[in-house]
Structure 1
Amino acid sequence: MLQAFLLGMIAFIAQSEFALGTSLISRPIVTGLFTGIVMGDIKAGVIMGATLELAFIGSFSVGGAIPPDVVTGGILGVAFAIASKSGVETVLLLALPIATFTLILKNVYLGIIIPMLAHKADAYAEEGNCRGIEKMQLISGFGLSLMLALIVFFSYLLGSNVISTILNSIPEFVQRGLAVATGIIPALGFAMLARLLLNKTVAPYFFLGFAIAVYTGVPLTGIAIFGGILAVIVVNLKDGVQLRGAKAVEESEVEEDEDF
């Protein structure tokens, strides 16, 4: 009961960014750490959270597209995997269906409850009632947080023993397949992110980092440091060129005014 309550609190706080601002505490790499603390296995929580982060790395809302819920998927996936003493491959099997199911409930809330609160906020706006508008904003945000907290609380409270039984009944060849999928799904997450970010401007830098990693053996930390330095240099060069261009335009305008 206590673990279920604490996991629900983690979900509530993680989703509270909807009302308080985006801080990325909802990401699996963060919730995995706190879930590991609650479950008594910090190392497993960090490893499983990082694995889920790779799988969900491209899961961000873009326009009207809402991705699977990383809060409940990350927390319950890690919690069930630790409770059943399973490996990293199991956390992906658990997290993805949970996140997809929660997305359905989340869409119901976003499609029905929030529009009702928004109309109420419009009425407060016509009255000039700023406190009423703020209240609707907070209710909409914390209401979603409460919904996810309750999902996590009751799911863990009712499902930990059931999940353990199901996992123990999975054949060995399926578990080996899950171990292979553990290596593939993070690559899929990176591919989803790359599809959003890669263009003809940044693609050369991506392949430059890849070539350095393959042919020089420099670790990823070194490549990240090198990339950060290169980004600062490129930005400063662009700013310098723009500044010189602006000065040239000003000088030419001054000369034309003097000639006139």
Structure 2
Amino acid sequence: MIAEIASVSFIGGLLSLDVSAWGQIMVSRPIVCGPLIGLLLGDLKTGLIIGVLLELIWINVISVGAAIPPDATIVAVTCTTLIILTESKLSLGSDFHGSYRMVVLALTMPLAEFFKTIDVKQRKLNARFVHYLDREILKGNLKAVGKVNNFSLFLVFLRGFLFSLVAISVGVYILPKLFSYLPYAMLVGLNFAYRLMPALGLAIAFNTFRGL
């Protein structure tokens, strides 16, 4: 499992680059990175299901210009990985798989806002790099431009890698134990809520494109 967590975290770091720092070819969208993580972990079906659900929920969240939206990519990577790695190890009846997935979804979605906060702080750090570059360019050191750009990209990758690594490593051990303490009535309710998630996602999608 350690190798799988490390591999997924590495992919999470690469996908973080696509959000706004480099590329922006939309491979970081949940509908793409969910199945990608599922394929890597040997469960493409679960990856596709979670990716589609999260894409519908976050379909109106797009990084445009200087805007810093909640990071749906880190949620998709973390949520998909945790479900695939831990769900099969739980003794769940067919009626409670949805309950467990709902718990994982509910606990990983707030990570989007937390990751956004880290992103804001990192962009403030980039402003310091700009002032440093101004001084280096005035000195005639044009090579500093490429070095600083590459270092900034590395920091974005490192942020995504470390965040994914910590979140998944902690979640793998905490989520199954937490789920075992939930009462039966709550499990039934969570399973029903999970079945309604596609409807919620479609409602968000319809509302987003209603005025177009």
Same fold (TM over 0.5): yes
Structure 1 residues 183 and 163, CA gap change in structure 2 (3 angstroms): same
Match of 1:105 in 2: 118
Structure 1 segments (4+ residues) deviating >4 Å: none
Query: How well do the aligned residues superpose, as a CA RMSD in angstroms?
Result: 2.4
- Alpha-carbon distance in 1 for matches of 2:204, 2:136: 42
- Counting only pairs closer than 5 Å after superposition, residues 144-159 of structure 1 correspond to structure 2 as 144-159=156-171
Greater mean deviation of Cα atoms: 14-23 or 48-57: 14-23
Unaligned runs of 5+ in 1: 204-260
Deviations 1:231-259 (A, max 9, x none): xxxxxxxxxxxxxxxxxxxxxxxxxxxxx
Letter in 2 for 1:194: F
Q: 1:140, CA displacement in angstroms?
A: 1.4
- Alpha-carbon distance in 1 for matches of 2:26, 2:46: 21
- Alpha-carbon distance in 2 for matches of 1:27, 1:51: 12
Structure 2 SS opposite 1:84: helix
- Counting only pairs closer than 5 Å after superposition, residues 1-260 of structure 1 correspond to structure 2 as 1-17=2-18, 18-85=20-87, 86-87=97-98, 89-111=102-124, 113-170=125-182, 171-176=186-191, 178-179=193-194, 182-187=197-202, 189-190=204-205, 193-194=208-209, 198=211, 203=212
Letter in 1 for 2:129: L
Q: 1:38, CA displacement in angstroms?
A: 3.3
Q: 1:74, CA displacement in angstroms?
A: 0.8
Larger Rg belongs to: 1
Letter in 2 for 1:172: L
Deviations 1:90-131 (A, max 9, x none): 4532331121221122222122x2111121122233334332
- Greater fraction of residues in helix: 1
Structure 2 SS opposite 1:16: helix
- Alpha-carbon distance in 2 for matches of 1:169, 1:187: 32
TM-score by length of structure 2 reads: 0.80
Report if the CA contact (8 A) 2:104-2:175 is conserved. no
Report if the CA contact (8 A) 1:39-1:82 is conserved. yes
Q: 1:83, CA displacement in angstroms?
A: 2.6
Report if the CA contact (8 A) 1:10-1:31 is conserved. no
- Alpha-carbon distance in 2 for matches of 1:184, 1:149: 32
Match of 1:207 in 2: none
Letter in 2 for 1:69: D
TM-score by length of structure 1 reads: 0.67
